[in-house]
Structure 1
Amino acid sequence: MDMAPTQDSGRLTFRDAVDADVPVLVALVESAYRGDSSRVGWTTEADILDGQRTDPDGVRQVVEAPGSRLLVVERDGAVVACCQLERRGDAAYFGMFAVRPDLQGAGLGKVVIAEAERAVREDWGAAEMHMTVISVREELIAWYERRGYRRTGRTSPFPYGDERFGIPQRDDLAFELLIKNLVRPEC
């Protein structure tokens, strides 16, 4: 799907990931959240987590799983963003959201999340979008709240000891569930 140009962006295209995309998607997600490269953008987790954010096996599982899509966003043939969409009954799960660090803050993330919401509403009939965010990420949670997501107060534990998800730098991490209603009320 093509989308009209956004602020300073050129034409964006959205497509489902394939196995050949795995290496570039791992690099994109890692660059957006971990290490010094992530500090260029505002979504960095480098101060709360070391180690990896994902790996090729994790990305490949999302690409290949039934009821799951890994949406790839390209501009001028280059991958600039991605997000995971997973069908969960009447809801959809939004995850693995990454925007290239040097492009963060220019409106690209808003376009990607809007397209993801449209796709799950129209393609799957999803009534809600669910996501989990590390509860100490107040700035990121506030960004999602401005997009219509609400905090539920429901948390799940961070997988301490499982380095596939990173090496925590603090002992108070948990995931909080955020939900957005995707059904437009009838007038």
Structure 2
Amino acid sequence: MTASRTADADPDTAAGPAFRAAQPQDVPQVVALVESAYRGDASRAGWTTEADLLDGQRTDEAAVAELLGRAESVVLLAESDGRLLACCHVERRGATGYFGMFSVSPSAQGGGLGRQVLARAEEWARAAWGVGAMEMTVIEQRADLIAWYERRGYTRTGVYEPFPYGDERFGIPLRSDLRFEKLVKSL
């Protein structure tokens, strides 16, 4: 499946974003986008910040490059006027797609771009791999984000995974009770 321009672009955006699969040369831009959306004071310009939960990095170039090198894995980019506005990672895990590393530039949040990216990721997983469901993990304390996913058809499973305390590749926790909850949606 190609990641070309979306047909159901936001009517408020003249042409809508162009979608494509990330290439190795995109890695530095992807890392910068992810960091801007989740970490530090700059991330507070958007609503997806984790700055009150985690310090340190959200990802790094080695981790993103590793995602690009996996079989049945894609990092989708949403661009407009040559500017990277959003990204996500989609991966096949058996009969299920996995959605992660979802990032929208703080300056582009709140205008419907996130919905478009999520829809494109779901479409990709169905078309490329024939999966019947999409799953993700979200930090349990991110009630606003979980509610956003629930409004898009995802359900909380009550299945939890521990936060990787001690592994600074995923950030430096600012509290001791972090864990991930699995959300799932039938496609």
Q: TM-score range by the shorter chain?
A: over 0.9
Whether 1:153 and 2:158 are equivalent positions in the alignment is yes
Whether 1:72 and 2:77 are equivalent positions in the alignment is yes
Whether 1:121 and 2:118 are equivalent positions in the alignment is no
Q: Look up the equivalent residue of 2:5 and give its one-letter code.
A: D
> Where do 5+ consecutive residues of structure 2 fail to align?
none
Whether 1:181 and 2:186 are equivalent positions in the alignment is yes
| 2:147 counterpart residue number | 142
Q: Report the CA distance between 1:122 and its aligned residue.
A: 1.5
Secondary structure of 2:65's partner?
A: helix
RMSD, matched Cα: 0.9
Instruction: For 1:48 and 1:10, locate their aligned partners in 2 and report how far apart those are by CA, in whole Å.
Output: 36
Q: Look up the equivalent residue of 2:136 and give its one-letter code.
A: M
Q: Report the CA distance between 1:7 and its aligned residue.
A: 4.8
Instruction: For 2:12 and 2:145, locate their aligned partners in 1 and report how far apart those are by CA, in whole Å.
Output: 23
| 2:29 counterpart residue number | 24
| 1:163 counterpart residue number | 168
> Where do 5+ consecutive residues of structure 1 fail to align?
183-187
Instruction: For 2:146 and 2:161, locate their aligned partners in 1 and report how far apart those are by CA, in whole Å.
Output: 16
Structure that is richer in strand per residue: 1
Q: TM-score, normalised by structure 2?
A: 0.95
| 1:48 counterpart residue number | 53
Whether 1:38 and 2:43 are equivalent positions in the alignment is yes
Whether 1:132 and 2:137 are equivalent positions in the alignment is yes
Whether 1:90 and 2:95 are equivalent positions in the alignment is yes
Whether 1:6 and 2:25 are equivalent positions in the alignment is no
Secondary structure of 2:59's partner?
A: coil
Instruction: For 1:95 and 1:179, locate their aligned partners in 2 and report how far apart those are by CA, in whole Å.
Output: 12
Q: TM-score, normalised by structure 1?
A: 0.95
**CA displacement, residues 4-45 of structure 1 (integer Å, 9 cap, x when unaligned):** 542543431111101100000000000000001100000000
Instruction: For 1:10 and 1:109, locate their aligned partners in 2 and report how far apart those are by CA, in whole Å.
Output: 17
Secondary structure of 1:47's partner?
A: coil
Secondary structure of 1:2's partner?
A: coil
Asked if 2 retains the 8 angstrom alpha-carbon contact of 1:51 and 1:166, the reply is yes
Aligned residues: 182
Q: Percent identity?
A: 58
Instruction: For 1:9 and 1:3, locate their aligned partners in 2 and report how far apart those are by CA, in whole Å.
Output: 12
